[in-house]
A and B are shown apart, each in its own frame.
Chain A
Amino acid sequence: MSDIGTYSFRRAQVDLDREEISRPSLSYWQDAWYRIRTNRRTLASLFIVVFMVLVAAFGPILWHFDYDTQDLNQTSKPPWASRSMTVIEPYTPWLDRPAVERWSDTGAPADIQAIGFPSIEFVRLTWSPVQGATRYTIYRTIVDPEGGPLGLPLGNVIGESENSYEDRIDLEQRRYWYSVEATFADGTTAASTLPIDVAAAATLAGAIESGWIDADTDLQPGDTLRTPWHPLGTDYLGRDMLARLMKGAQISLFIGIVAPLLFILLGVVYGSFAGFIGGKTDALLMRFADFVVALPFLLFMILFKLVFGIGAGESGILPMLVALVLLSWPAAARLVRGQILQIREEGYIDASRLLGTKTPRLILRHMIPNTMGVILVTFTFAVPSTIFTEAFLSFIGMGVEPPIPSWGSMCNDGRKTMETTPHELIFPAIFISITVLAFNILGDGLRDALDARMRSTE
Chain B
Amino acid sequence: MAWYTVKRLIQGIITVWFIATATFWAMHEVPGDPFIGEKAVSPEVEANLKARWGLDKPPLEQYWIFMTNMLQGDFGISFAQESRSVNDIILERFPVSAILGILAIVFAGLGGVLYGALTALYRNQWPDVLIILLVIIGISVPSFVFASVGQLILVVINQILGFNVLPVAGWGDISHMLVPALVLGLGTMAFLTRLMRSSMLEIVSADFIRTARSKGVPAAQVFSRHQLRNAVLPVITVLGPSVASITTGGFVVENIFGIPGLGQSFVLAVQQSDYGVIMGTTVFYGAFLVLMVIIVDLLYAWIDPRVRLE
Residues in A lying within 8 Å of B, measured CB to CB: 290-291, 294-300, 302-304, 306-307, 309, 384, 388, 391-392, 395-398, 408, 411-412, 415, 418-419, 422, 425, 429, 432-434, 436-437, 440, 456-458
Evaluate contact between A437 and B19: CB separation under 8 angstroms: no
A–B pairs, 8, beta carbons within 8 Å: A294-B19, A294-B290, A307-B26, A411-B148, A432-B142, A436-B142, A457-B201, A458-B201
Beyond A302-B270, A391-B144, A437-B139, 11 extra complex contacts between A and B, CB < 8 Å: A296-B19, A298-B247, A300-B26, A300-B282, A398-B270, A408-B144, A415-B144, A422-B152, A440-B136, A440-B139, A456-B198
Q: A396-B252, A398-B270, A432-B145 are in contact. Are A303 and B140 (CB under 8 A)?
A: no
Question: Is B148 touching A299 in the complex (CB atoms < 8 A)?
Answer: no
Minimum CB distance partner of A422 in chain B: B152
A296→B247 contact, CB < 8 A = yes
Chain B: how many interface residues by the 8 Å CB criterion? 48
Interface residue from A291, A307, A415 paired with B18 (Cβ < 8 Å) = A291
Q: Are A299 and B282 in contact (CB under 8 A)?
A: yes
State the Cβ distance, A365 to closest chain B Cβ, in Å.
33
Is the Cβ of B152 less than 8 Å from the Cβ of A419? yes
Chain B residues with a Cβ under 8 A of chain A: 11, 14-15, 18-19, 22-23, 26-27, 29-32, 136-137, 139-145, 148-149, 152, 155, 198, 201-202, 244, 247-248, 251-252, 255-256, 266-267, 270-271, 278, 281-282, 285-286, 289-290, 293
**Assembled-state Cα–Cα distance A436/B198 (Å):** 21
A57, B237: Cα distance in complex, Å: 41
Which of A398, A412, A418, A433 is in CB contact (< 8 Å) with B141? A433
A396, B251: Cβ atoms closer than 8 Å? yes
Q: How far is the CB of B167 from chain A (nearest CB, A)?
A: 16
Interface of B is mostly: helix
A303–B26 CB distance below 8 A? yes
Q: Is B140's CB under 8 angstroms from A419's CB?
A: no
**A436 partner residues in chain B, CB cutoff 8 A:** 139-140, 142
Contacts of B256 in A (CB 8 A): 415
Query: A458 contacts which chain B residues (CB < 8 A)?
Result: 198, 201
Q: Are A418 and B152 in contact (CB under 8 A)?
A: yes
Whether A294 contacts B15 by the Cβ 8 Å rule is yes
The distance in angstroms between the C-alpha atoms of A458 and B201, with both chains bound, is 8
Q: Which chain B residues border A434 with CB–CB below 8 Å?
A: 140
- Residues of A near B152 (CB, < 8 A) are 418-419, 422
Q: Which residue of A lies closest to B12 (CB)?
A: A294
Contact status A429-B141, CB under 8 Å:
yes
**Residue of B15, B23, B144, B202 touching A303 (CB-CB under 8 A):** B23
Q: Is the Cβ of B286 less than 8 Å from the Cβ of A294?
A: yes
Question: With A and B bound together, what is the CA distance between A156 and B152 in angstroms?
Answer: 38
Minimum CB–CB distance from B239 to chain A (whole Å) comes to 16
> In the bound complex, do residue B267 and residue A396 qualify as a contact, i.e. CB atoms below 8 Å apart?
yes
Cα-based distance from A384 to B136 in the complex (angstroms): 13
Instruction: Report the separation of the CA atoms of residues A309 and B36 in the bound assembly, to the nearest whole angstrom.
Output: 15
Asked if A433 and B145 make an inter-chain contact with CB atoms under 8 angstroms apart, the answer reads yes
CA distance A218 to B19 in the complex (A): 70
Q: Which residues of chain A are near B139, meaning CB under 8 Å?
A: 436-437, 440
- In contact, A392 and B248 (Cβ under 8 angstroms): yes
Min CB distance A452 to B, Å, is 16
Q: Which residue of A lies closest to B266 (CB)?
A: A299
Chain A residue numbers with a CB within 8 Å of B31 are 307, 309
Q: Quick one: closest A residue to B267, CB to CB?
A: A396
| A307 and B15 in contact, given A294-B286, A296-B282, A398-B270 (Cβ under 8 angstroms) | no
Q: Report B231 CB to chain A, min CB distance, Å.
A: 12
Q: What are the residues of chain A within 8 A of B32 when measuring CB–CB?
A: 309
**In the complex, residue of chain A having the shortest beta-carbon distance to the beta carbon of B123:** A458
Cβ–Cβ < 8 Å partners of A307 in chain B: 26-27, 29-31
Q: How many angstroms from the CA of A45 to the CA of B99 in the assembled complex?
A: 39
Give bound CA distance, A107 to B149, whole Å. 49
Among B27, B248, B293, contact of A298 (Cβ-Cβ < 8 Å): B248
Contacts of A395 in B (CB 8 A): 142, 144, 252
Pair A396/B248 contact, Cβ less than 8 Å? no
Q: Report Cα–Cα, A298/B254, bound state, in Å.
A: 15
Residues of A within 8 A of B145 (CB): 411, 425, 429, 432-433
